[in-house]
Amino acid sequence: MEAARPRPGTLVLRYFVTGKMSDLRLPPVTAAARSEGLWRHTCFEAFLRAGPGAAYTEFNFAPSTQWAAYRFDDYRSGMRVAEEIAAPRVEVRSTGTCYELRASLELDRLSGLPGDAAWRLGLSAVIEETSGRRSYWALAHPPGKADFHHSDCFALELPAA
């Protein structure tokens, strides 16, 4: 996983999966559109927080190029669709042994996200195999069961652009 802030208000994420891609459930690419429930299958996620507050934004990106964005006031509470988020540019590449998803987000209209401040990120992925088995990957996990919303997962700090 990689994250970059090439300009204030812009976030570029890259996710890589290596191994035998034929063992993974990767839906075909469709028209990019906002969609619900993406986390139930193979999905790449980012959780973004700016400043010391508890509010954060969740982004979901599916291999189909469908996406979702949600705002939270606090840990798993106050959830609402982040309507002010413009559609991200989602690109995918796949070979027999490597899969890459790249998402570019313009976040200038996202309130409470100062472009001149450091951002905290939690990067994660749900990987579904053709058998139906799912595994949960993140830069950091809290103790116990995987929980990407937990503050321990916000492990990456991106300095101001």
In this prediction, residue 129 carries a pLDDT of: 96
Please tell me whether the overall predicted TM-score, pTM, comes out greater than 0.85 for this model: yes
* pLDDT of the residue at 124: 97
pLDDT of residue 160: 83
Q: Number of helices (H) and strands (E) in the chain: give both, helices first.
A: 0, 11
Domain count, the chain: 1
Could you report the per-residue pLDDT of 20-49, keeping only the tens digit for each? Answer: 999 999 999 999 999 999 999 999 999 999
pLDDT of residue 36: 94
With a cut of 50, list the residues of the chain below it in pLDDT: none
What one-letter code names the amino acid at 120? R
What pLDDT was estimated at residue 153?
A: 95
Q: What pLDDT, on the 0 to 100 scale, is given for residue 97?
A: 95
**8 is in which domain, residue-wise?**
2-158
3-state helix, strand, coil in the chain (%, to 5): 5, 45, 50
Q: List Cβ neighbours of 41 (8 Å cut-off, separation of 6 or more).
A: 25, 27, 62, 126, 128
